[in-house]
């Protein structure tokens, strides 16, 4: 199976002479697929119901003739100006009900009837026209859903929200779940419920949680609406839409992944930050785990981006290293935004495979060299013995709460645990609500504020059968409606953990624990032991000498509770004492991935590195230059 290599291709910005040059240079770069037509709507449909496919026809044929596959986009990511002007319902509204006007991109209300109607018509037209075109190899629905418009507060959304609620709950259930006896919020009719618009103080967190679910579902409906049309027309063409990585909170990607054939995502690490290689690896692992199968790196920058405050160039080799990281973590393809750097528009200072200054540039040379390298490789099947639990409802509920502490951020907690494995070169999967945990030695839930009943059962069984479960602080507080458990924190997993958590203290300075006098920060759960033992106690404050970290034998397995937080170095020391999987030593940010008989060594740093590489029975001295990638076979 060949590795996909290519880019977003926007030939509508260029003359036909340039198209011919493009074909030549794509060959030089070993490009085998492009994402076409992503922003094509305004050209395809000059006025409502009148289509013009001339340019797209020509491009499809040209690409086919040049042996370049097409991941054909449905062009619904940015509606034409005429559509925004013609119908009142198309543009979204902000929290104060002010309009989000036309002029940028993705300025449509997810629940706009006219946007939906015109998108359906367009996708059907495109599907019918190209369903048998030999260049067509994949569908690219919309683009970066939720990146610019992830929420809308308009009256159409209000109406749809009420229908969404009615399909799930009675009004009595809503009053009960949201706790509307608080602050006189009781509803007597569905019509009284509105989106969480600008108001005088905090909203009801239950309503906000359900509105987040509703918005993710509304946008998912857009996807499903297109998916259904294309599946019917071309059942054998795989469909994808490009996700936005681990920082993208608005969409429940796990829920979405059921309906997507191949997961793909856009990777834009901040190259000025030390943690970016780790964070990017984490996202690859998250994306791969959504369907437990190969995924595509759908966009990355060949060199600099344009939208941060300061946008330095990638150093020589850095783009290659990030691309190889994708392959090492299971990617089926490596693609860029975009083929040719734009001369106009809001992204003209975002690099392209061919930059403003042409093909005689470092960027294009690195692009060609990577293409050649990938031609001789095949995708890697990635296996891990460690899993981290991820849940979007939990993320949403945790971070809307007024209190207890702004320091408890869901993805930060996950990163603080993931970091240990990354820096020890131990492979990690992510698991979700309904995942099978059987094959993992460790399952970690860094900040499981919400207990989902199904996962509670799964993890009980997992530990009973010999698994090891590690739970972080501020966990087990609320149920799926964001109500605190009547029966106290930890609820149904008290027996599993062998403790109860009777309270917590929020730290403005720090405390320490008795294990190696590690400094703990941010948060201290107050713990009572039942069947568990203390691994480490707090060393000061009024809860001095009470448990901070505990271990509980449960069935054939063990459960650990870590009731406090640590910085990276301290966390490293603590987890080293709990995790018995042997990692691979390497210098900081030199990543070593071993999968099957592949060994990939990625130097993510700006300096040359030397180290002794030891694993299994091998032991060899490695010298690796700054931003170099070394591929070995065991």
Cβ 24 to its own copies shortest distance, Å:
18
Peptide bond just before 404 cis, omega within 30 deg:
yes
118 C-beta neighbours (distance < 10 Å), count: 23
* 366-425 residues near its own copies, rule: CB under 8 A: 401-407
Cβ 541 to its own copies shortest distance, Å:
8
Contact in structure between 612 and 621 (CB atoms under 8 Å): yes
* 291-320 residues near its own copies, rule: CB under 8 A: 304-313, 315-316
Class of residue 155 by CB neighbours under 10 A (exposed 0-12, middle 13-18, buried 19+) = middle
Sheet containing strand 442-445, edge to edge, reads: 428-431, 386-389, 442-445, 468-471, 557-562, 547-554, 533-537
Tracing tokens 């605190």 back to the chain, one arrives at 484
Q: By CB under 8 A, name the one of 16, 47, 67, 238 that touches its own copies.
A: 47
Q: By CB under 8 A, name the one of 1, 167, 189, 580 that touches its own copies.
A: 189
Distance separating alpha carbons of residues 143 and 121, to the nearest angstrom:
18
Identify which of residues 255 and 409 has a Cβ nearer to its own copies in the complex.
Answer: 409
Distance separating alpha carbons of residues 393 and 411, to the nearest angstrom:
13
Cβ 484 to its own copies shortest distance, Å:
4
Q: By CB under 8 A, name the one of 125, 129, 203, 598 that touches its own copies.
A: 203
Q: By CB under 8 A, name the one of 113, 134, 238, 358 that touches its own copies.
A: 358
Catalytic residue of the set 12, 128, 192, 299: 299
* 480-539 residues near its own copies, rule: CB under 8 A: 482-486, 488-489, 500-503, 505-508
Cβ 213 to its own copies shortest distance, Å:
17
381 catalytically annotated: no
Q: Which residues lie across from 139 on neighbouring strands?
A: 72, 239
Q: How far is CA 494 from CA 479, 488, 500, 558, in A?
A: 14, 9, 6, 13
Stretch that binds its own copies, among 6-14, 420-428, 451-459, 462-470 (CB under 8 A): 6-14
Query: How open is the CA angle 574-576-580, to the nearest 5 degrees?
Result: 135
Q: Is 51 among the residues that bind its own copies (CB under 8 A)?
A: no
Contact in structure between 629 and 321 (CB atoms under 8 Å): yes
Cβ 78 to its own copies shortest distance, Å:
4
Contact in structure between 173 and 277 (CB atoms under 8 Å): no
Identify which of residues 24 and 544 has a Cβ nearer to its own copies in the complex.
Answer: 544
Stretch that binds its own copies, among 126-134, 346-354, 439-447, 608-616 (CB under 8 A): 346-354
Identify which of residues 242 and 289 has a Cβ nearer to its own copies in the complex.
Answer: 242
Identify which of residues 329 and 522 has a Cβ nearer to its own copies in the complex.
Answer: 522
DSSP 490: T
Stretch that binds its own copies, among 24-32, 233-241, 340-348, 424-432 (CB under 8 A): 340-348
Q: Which residues lie across from 224 on neighbouring strands?
A: none
* 84-103 residues near its own copies, rule: CB under 8 A: 85, 92, 94, 96-103
**Dihedral, CA atoms, 348, 353, 355, 357, nearest 10 degrees?**
-160
Catalytic residue of the set 45, 144, 318, 526: 144
Cβ 255 to its own copies shortest distance, Å:
24
* 219-278 residues near its own copies, rule: CB under 8 A: 272
DSSP 251: S
Nearest to 215 by CA among 170, 263, 169, 156: 156
Q: By CB under 8 A, name the one of 52, 131, 163, 198 that touches its own copies.
A: 198
Which residues are within 8 A (CB) of 1 and not within 5 positions of it... i.e. 6 or more apart?
A: 332, 378, 379
Distance separating alpha carbons of residues 472 and 634, to the nearest angstrom:
36
- Find the helix or strand (DSSP H, E) in which 159 lies: helix 155-166
* 22-41 residues near its own copies, rule: CB under 8 A: 39-41
Count residues near its own copies (CB under 8 A).
116
Cβ 137 to its own copies shortest distance, Å:
23
Peptide bond just before 338 cis, omega within 30 deg:
yes
* 569-628 residues near its own copies, rule: CB under 8 A: none
* 145-174 residues near its own copies, rule: CB under 8 A: 147-149
Distance separating alpha carbons of residues 419 and 413, to the nearest angstrom:
10
Cβ 283 to its own copies shortest distance, Å:
22
Q: By CB under 8 A, name the one of 187, 515, 611, 615 that touches its own copies.
A: 187
Identify which of residues 105 and 295 has a Cβ nearer to its own copies in the complex.
Answer: 105
Cβ 372 to its own copies shortest distance, Å:
21
226 catalytically annotated: no
Q: Is 201 among the residues that bind its own copies (CB under 8 A)?
A: yes
Q: Bin 53: left if φ > 0, else alpha if -120 < ψ < 50, else beta.
A: alpha
Q: Is 197 among the residues that bind its own copies (CB under 8 A)?
A: yes
Q: Is 66 among the residues that bind its own copies (CB under 8 A)?
A: no
Contact in structure between 275 and 415 (CB atoms under 8 Å): yes
Joined together, the tokens standing for residue 444 give 């970690």
Q: Is 20 among the residues that bind its own copies (CB under 8 A)?
A: no
- φ, ψ dihedrals at 603, nearest 5°: -90, 100
Identify which of residues 542 and 616 has a Cβ nearer to its own copies in the complex.
Answer: 542
Cβ 587 to its own copies shortest distance, Å:
21
Q: By CB under 8 A, name the one of 204, 325, 458, 589 that touches its own copies.
A: 204
Contact in structure between 478 and 485 (CB atoms under 8 Å): yes
Q: How far is CA 100 from CA 44, 149, 345, 456, in A?
A: 24, 9, 19, 42
Identify which of residues 202 and 533 has a Cβ nearer to its own copies in the complex.
Answer: 202
Contact in structure between 584 and 614 (CB atoms under 8 Å): yes
Identify which of residues 196 and 326 has a Cβ nearer to its own copies in the complex.
Answer: 196
Active centre residues (catalytic): 144, 299
């Amino acid at each position: 199976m060949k590795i996909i290599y290519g880019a977003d291709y926007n030939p509508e910005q260029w003359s036909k002479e340039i198209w011919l040059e493009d074909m030549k240079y794509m060959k030089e770069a070993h490009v085998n697929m492009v994402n076409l037509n992503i922003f094509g709507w305004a050209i395809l449909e000059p006025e409502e119901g009148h289509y013009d496919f001339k340019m797209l026809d020509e491009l499809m044929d040209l690409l086919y003739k040049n042996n370049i596959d097409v991941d054909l986009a449905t062009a619904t990511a940015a509606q034409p100006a005429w559509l925004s002007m013609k119908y009142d319902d198309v543009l979204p509204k902000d929290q104060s009900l002010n309009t989000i006007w036309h002029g940028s991109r993705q300025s449509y209300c997810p629940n706009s009837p006219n946007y939906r109607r015109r998108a359906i018509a367009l996708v059907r037209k495109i599907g019918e026209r190209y369903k048998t075109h030999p260049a067509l190899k994949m569908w690219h629905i919309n683009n970066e859903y939720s990146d610019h418009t992830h929420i809308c507060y308009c009256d159409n959304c209000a109406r749809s929200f009420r229908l969404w609620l009615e399909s799930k709950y009675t009004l009595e259930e809503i009053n009960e779940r949201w706790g509307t006896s608080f602050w006189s919020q009781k509803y007597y009719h569905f019509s009284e419920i509105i989106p969480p618009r600008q108001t005088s103080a905090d909203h009801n967190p239950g309503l906000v949680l359900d509105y987040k679910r509703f918005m993710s579902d509304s946008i998912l409906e857009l996807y499903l609406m297109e998916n259904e049309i294309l599946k019917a027309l071309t059942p054998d063409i795989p469909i994808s839409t490009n996700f936005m990585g681990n920082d993208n909170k608005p969409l429940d990607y796990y829920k979405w992944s059921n309906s997507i054939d191949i997961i793909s995502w856009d990777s834009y690490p901040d190259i000025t930050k030390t943690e970016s290689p780790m964070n990017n690896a984490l996202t690859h692992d998250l994306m791969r785990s959504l369907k437990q199968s190969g995924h595509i790196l759908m966009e990355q920058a060949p060199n600099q981006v344009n939208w941060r405050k300061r946008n330095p160039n990638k150093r020589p080799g850095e783009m290659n290293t990030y691309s190889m990281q994708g392959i090492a973590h299971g990617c089926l393809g490596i693609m860029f935004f975009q083929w040719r750097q734009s001369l106009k528009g809001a992204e003209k200072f975002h690099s392209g495979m061919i930059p403003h200054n042409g093909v005689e540039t470092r960027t294009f040379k690195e692009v060609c060299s990577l293409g050649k390298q990938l031609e001789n490789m095949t995708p890697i099947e990635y296996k891990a013995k460690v899993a981290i639990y991820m849940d979007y409802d939990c993320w949403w509920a945790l971070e809307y709460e007024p209190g207890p502490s702004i320091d408890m951020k869901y993805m930060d907690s996950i990163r603080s645990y993931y970091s240990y494995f990354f820096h020890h070169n131990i492979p990690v999967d992510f698991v979700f609500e309904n995942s099978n945990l059987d094959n993992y030695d460790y399952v970690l839930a860094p900040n499981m504020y919400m207990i989902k009943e199904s996962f509670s059962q799964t993890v009980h069984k997992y530990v009973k059968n010999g698994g090891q479960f590690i739970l972080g602080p501020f966990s087990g507080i609320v149920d799926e409606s964001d109500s605190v458990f009547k029966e106290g924190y930890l609820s149904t997993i008290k027996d599993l953990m062998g403790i109860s958590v009777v309270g917590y203290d929020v730290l403005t300075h720090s405390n320490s624990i008795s294990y190696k006098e590690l400094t703990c920060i941010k948060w201290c759960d107050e713990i009572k032991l039942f069947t568990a033992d203390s691994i480490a106690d707090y060393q000061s404050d009024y809860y001095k000498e009470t448990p901070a970290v505990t271990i509980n034998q449960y069935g054939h397995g063990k459960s650990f509770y870590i009731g406090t937080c640590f910085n990276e170095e301290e966390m490293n020391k603590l987890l080293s004492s709990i995790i018995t999987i042997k990692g691979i030593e390497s210098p900081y940010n030199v990543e070593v991935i071993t999968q099957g008989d592949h060994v990939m060594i990625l130097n993510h740093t700006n300096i040359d590195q030397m180290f002794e590489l030891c694993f299994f029975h091998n032991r060899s001295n490695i010298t690796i230059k700054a931003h170099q990638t070394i591929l070995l076979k065991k």
